[in-house]
């Protein structure tokens, strides 16, 4: 937790970077980078609460930013199923955001999605016999919105194991959840 002098300095930096009106998507990226780079705050490992936000897919490069500021309770959603990526933030919204960034006790943490049961594995796990017929799918160039509309584009085989990988694990986890909802049984996410 920053002391009063640091808090004033951080508040000034944040106000320079977040000038109203700014949309939530841009604010999410700015805030998440500030948390990582300035406050050295680690990402939340369980961000399953963000899975219910259908517009988390609006920017495939921003999924990580939106998910983190949402599960940390810093930027509030438009409603329970929508983050509101294009919604413009007012000066009052930004004031509340800055307060939640600098005061963790004031954060509004969403409930976790307890139905989330994706299995995470390491590269060395792939040597096991259960992965002999596994499809290993690199998702770095995959369009999340296309997968959301048609999860079967990943594979039409719902029985054999599917191992998903991407740069940070965010896209893999999102796609794994979509596949799970579509009835796939053996979904694994390769830890980066």
Check whether residue 140 and residue 53 sit in a common domain: no
Check whether residue 14 and residue 98 sit in a common domain: yes
Cα–Cα dist 154/139, whole Å: 9
Check whether residue 16 and residue 100 sit in a common domain: yes
Cα–Cα dist 111/157, whole Å: 33
Q: How many domains does the chain have?
A: 2
Q: What is the number of other CB atoms lying within 10 angstroms of the CB of residue 6?
A: 13
Cα–Cα dist 162/142, whole Å: 15
Check whether residue 10 and residue 82 sit in a common domain: yes
By residue range, what is the domain housing residue 54? 4-106
Identify whether 113 is part of a domain: no
Q: How far is CA 136 from CA 10, 62, 131, 158, 159, in A?
A: 43, 24, 9, 14, 14
Is-contact 143 154, C-beta < 8 A?
no
Q: Which of 60, 80, 106 is where one domain is finished?
A: 106
Check whether residue 72 and residue 36 sit in a common domain: yes
Check whether residue 78 and residue 12 sit in a common domain: yes
Q: Which residue, 79, 134, 91, is CA-closest to 99?
A: 91
SS3 23: strand
SS3 88: strand
Tens of pLDDT along the chain (192 residues) come to 677 778 899 999 999 999 878 999 999 999 999 999 999 999 987 777 787 788 887 787 888 999 999 999 999 999 888 999 999 999 999 999 999 999 988 899 887 654 446 788 888 888 877 788 889 999 999 988 888 888 889 988 877 889 999 988 888 988 998 888 888 878 889 888
Contacts made by residues 178-185, CB under 8 angstroms, sequence distance 24+: 178/147, 178/148, 178/151, 179/151, 179/154, 180/117, 180/118, 181/151, 182/151, 182/152, 182/158, 183/158, 184/151, 184/155, 184/158, 185/158, 185/159
Check whether residue 63 and residue 137 sit in a common domain: no
Check whether residue 100 and residue 10 sit in a common domain: yes
Is-contact 138 166, C-beta < 8 A?
yes
Check whether residue 32 and residue 54 sit in a common domain: yes
pTM to 2 decimals?
Answer: 0.65
Cα–Cα dist 141/8, whole Å: 41
The CATH number of whichever domain residue 161 belongs to comes to: 3.40.250.10
Identify whether 152 is part of a domain: yes
pLDDT, tens only, 145-187: 888 888 889 988 877 889 999 988 888 988 998 888 888 878 8
Q: Which of 75, 106, 137 is where one domain is finished?
A: 106
Check whether residue 89 and residue 68 sit in a common domain: yes
Is-contact 24 87, C-beta < 8 A?
yes
Check whether residue 87 and residue 124 sit in a common domain: no
């Amino acid at each position: 937790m920053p002391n009063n002098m640091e808090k004033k300095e951080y508040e000034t930096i944040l106000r320079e970077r977040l000038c109203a009106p700014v949309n939530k998507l841009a604010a999410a990226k700015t805030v998440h980078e500030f948390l990582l780079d300035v406050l050295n705050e680690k990402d939340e490992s369980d961000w399953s609460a963000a899975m219910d936000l259908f517009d988390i897919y609006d920017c495939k490069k921003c999924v990580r930013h939106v998910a983190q500021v949402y599960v940390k309770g810093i930027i509030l959603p438009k409603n329970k199923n929508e983050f509101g990526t294009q919604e413009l933030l007012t000066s009052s919204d930004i004031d509340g955001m800055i307060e939640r960034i600098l005061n963790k006790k004031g954060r509004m943490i969403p409930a976790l999605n307890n139905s989330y049961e994706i299995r995470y594995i390491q590269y060395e796990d792939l040597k096991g016999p259960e992965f002999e017929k596994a499809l290993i799918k690199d998702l770095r160039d995959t369009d999340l919105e296309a997968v959301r509309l048609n999860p079967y584009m990943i594979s039409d085989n719902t029985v054999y194991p599917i191992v998903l990988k991407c740069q940070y694990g965010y896209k893999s986890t999102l796609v794994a959840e979509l596949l799970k909802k579509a009835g796939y049984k053996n979904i694994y996410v390769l830890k980066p």
